Amino acid sequence: MIVVMSRRADEDKINAVLERLKKAGFQIHLSRGVERTIIGAIGDKTRMGDLALEAMPGVENVVPILQPYKLASRAFKEQDTVVKVGDLEIGGKQIHVMAGPCAVESREQLLESAEMVKAAGATLLRGGAFKPRTSPYSFQGLEEKGLQYLAEAREKTGLKIVTEVMDAGTLPLVAEYADILQIGTRNMQNFFLLREVAKVDKPVLLKRGASATIEEWLMAAEYIMAGGNYNVILCERGIRTYETFTRNTLDLSAVPVVKHLSHLPVIVDPSHAIGKWRFVPPMAVAAVAAGADGLLIEVHPNPSEALCDGPQSLTPENFQSLMKDVRAVAEAIGRRL
């Protein structure tokens, strides 16, 4: 539920409500707006009537949250959440592009990728050190050595790092290097991992599961937020349908729908959704037009020799062209790149 305090409610009245909710076992989230304070309370709704909150001084209204995802819902927080990653703000007016190779293959490959995506305007470097692959015989990543290369690239370029964490065992290691922890599509409903990630003081990029509904996706975000980590970035990366021409089907309708249902920022990964590089640029532009707060784009110095996802990776030249088009669309809708 949400407890809306009146404009005239002072700290003593606010604290009195907080104390009553805590004694009743509710989890509390305090949001102080310009005009009023809103208290979010998560817990046993059968106890709401016993609390008599609306009779307390300073309380203007008590509103139940009907959605199963409470903390992630727009009802819980009306204003858009802006996730800070160092000096970057994801979910604000600026659209951020996270770009780089699918997998960290070598020091030279990663540093070259980092330099070229920064030159084109990217603000974050993506790259997998641990790679969950469908085939056990495919390249599985350089693991800690790959993380070290990512850290070196950050030092040389200033780009923040987003990389995937696959399990609780490697979480401390990945968190030591990463600026954003990525939860991949295969782990969206790995609830144990989500609980562990919630304990880490790092923003989380949560990819939508290949067969997940929007509600299931938001419920996965709820796991992270319920564990105390409110810095969640949602990522639409295509869902599995009957269509086989593309790798997945990019659900761009999810962007405005989720932004209506939730206050969390939403980015789009057209590379994994399409699986074919020539269709990535137009879908990236469409994602920005649909309201996405950022993009996740695969770029490789030489896609034909990539050890992972070469067919969907852009060349440096194609990435520069994409960034030019994205910049134009962003400006047309009152945002910036």
Same domain, 156 and 17: no
For residues 312 and 276, the answer to whether their CB atoms sit within 8 Å is yes
**Candidate from 65-74, 166-175, 189-198, 275-284 with smallest mean pLDDT:** 65-74
Phi, psi at residue 245, to the nearest 5°?
Answer: -70, -40
Confidence at residue 135, expressed as pLDDT on a 0 to 100 scale? 77
Overall number of domains in the chain = 2
Q: What is the pLDDT of residues 227-241, one digit of tens each?
A: 999 999 999 999 999
Confidence at residue 33, expressed as pLDDT on a 0 to 100 scale? 74
Identify the CATH number of the domain in which residue 228 sits. 3.20.20.70
**Residue at 68 is within a domain:** no
Q: What is the pLDDT of residues 180-211, one digit of tens each?
A: 999 999 999 999 999 999 999 999 999 999 99
Identify the CATH number of the domain in which residue 40 sits. 3.30.70.1140
Mean pLDDT of the chain: 94
Look up the pTM and report it.
0.91
Same domain, 58 and 122: no
* Burial class of residue 44 in the structure, from the number of CB atoms within 10 Å of its CB (0-12 exposed, 13-18 middle, 19+ buried): exposed
Select from 182, 147, 201, 175 the least CA-distant residue to 294. Answer: 182
Confidence at residue 99, expressed as pLDDT on a 0 to 100 scale? 98
Same domain, 100 and 237: yes
Partner residues linked to 207 by β-bridges? 235
**Residue at 76 is within a domain:** no
- Is the pLDDT at 34 greater than 90, yes or no? no
Same domain, 100 and 7: no
- Of 12, 35, 63, the position where a domain reaches its end is 63
Confidence of residue 137 (pLDDT cuts 50, 70, 90): low
Same domain, 223 and 297: yes
For residues 265 and 294, the answer to whether their CB atoms sit within 8 Å is yes
Select from 124, 140, 73, 90 the least CA-distant residue to 308. Answer: 140
**Residue at 70 is within a domain:** no
- Of 11, 35, 63, the position where a domain reaches its end is 63
Same domain, 31 and 120: no
**Residue at 201 is within a domain:** yes
* Burial class of residue 336 in the structure, from the number of CB atoms within 10 Å of its CB (0-12 exposed, 13-18 middle, 19+ buried): exposed
For residue 270, the one-letter residue type is P
Using a pLDDT cut of 70, give the percent of the chain over it.
Answer: 98
318 lies in which domain range?
A: 83-332
